[in-house]
Amino acid sequence: MESNILKRLREWFKKNAAMLPWRPTDLDAPRDPYAVWISETMLQQTQVATVRDYYIKWMKRFPDIETLAKANEEEVFRYWQGLGYYSRARNILRTAKTVCEQAVRQAHRPATMPRTRKELEALPGIGAYTAGAILSLAYHQREAILDGNLVRIFARFYALDFLPTDKASAGKNTTGKNEGCAEAYWKYAREVADSPKAYMHNEALMELGRTVCKSKNPECANCPLSGGCRAFAEGRTGEFPPKRKSAQREWRGTALVVESADGKLLAVSAGQPFLAGQATLPHFEHSRNATAGIPAEAEAYFNADNVVHTRECGSFRHNITVHKIECRVLHVKLSTKASKCVASSGKKIDPQFNATWVKKEDAAKAFANSFSLKALKNVF
């Protein structure tokens, strides 16, 4: 992009920047790298309006990386509950502990995020985009970022008929030279970032994509880039970026709410299709025409001879990563206490499930994921 267009972009941003809890009033001020890391990780796959309250609560509880590093996974999941993509929360905690351990070994206190892309990208959950955001917004380095907003803007501005995820043979830049599709987009991102104002260019483009250069009904009349935008000049903004084939996969199954005689609920954290590593309700896949009653898969978690009653409690829809889920809920009440519960084999519940029992009144805290909470809402 030419310097005069970037100047208009900066002027537009100064007038239109939204007030956000992670954005300082002074747009030129360096930022806390920890705060940038947390906000940008939360914003991945999540709307700004949703992230606001989560970010405020998170920063109140975990104001710095050293406080976070002392937390356990269960508490971190509670503060992440509702944001989805729980691997992000797990990686945040792992990274916090790693950074603090390195700070102790190197006698660098207080602990802080690294200042190089290589060091940042070596940490769990930090990829090229997040590393660029930290280096650019917090440390004011000339580092590029590339998220969905920038992809959409570059595709329209340069009339790119391919996506970063396309095969290399499809990627031609404006000179017609064939190159990797991802690299073509990163090239434009680096050009924008090759400036002392890289931090402002990067954030302004993200804001522009969110509010003006939107996926549907872009407000081209209000866009500071319209003077150089090829798609706008040709009246073809609706054609860019090209449509991506849906990667969503349908999944149908059953979530079990197994309740013991002493009012405890069965939680598992392994051997499940989704949410591995965190407390969740047992769940398994079945066809749309599954028979009523107790499915055979369910008897891995309790002995059918100890069932007082079962109740179909409706169903719910949910999305996890690329999975579009339709899940029925089956409430199973047992005649035995939690400590006496066994599977239909007569043996203890298979260790592969890492099963535990939680008090019903503690369910909201124990099941820190919206999948389980939706199922429980159908029962209680």
Q: Examine residue 241 and say whether the peptide bond preceding it is cis (omega within 30 degrees of 0).
A: yes
Which two tokens mark 20? 């956000």
The DSSP secondary-structure symbol of 321 reads: T
Q: Which of 290, 277, 252, 269 is nearest to 349 (CA)?
A: 269
State residue 197 phi and psi, 5-degree precision: -100, 25
CB 250, CB 326: distance < 8 Å: yes
C-alpha span between 152 and 145 (Å, rounded): 13
Partners of residue 265 on adjacent β-strands: 259, 358
C-alpha span between 215 and 242 (Å, rounded): 11
User: Is position 119 annotated as part of the catalytic site?
Assistant: no
C-alpha span between 145 and 132 (Å, rounded): 5
Choose the catalytic residue: 2, 11, 40, 207.
40
C-alpha span between 151 and 160 (Å, rounded): 10
Single-letter residue type at 92: I
Cβ neighbours, 10 Å, residue 190: 17
Partners of residue 317 on adjacent β-strands: 326
The residues annotated with a catalytic role in the active site are 40
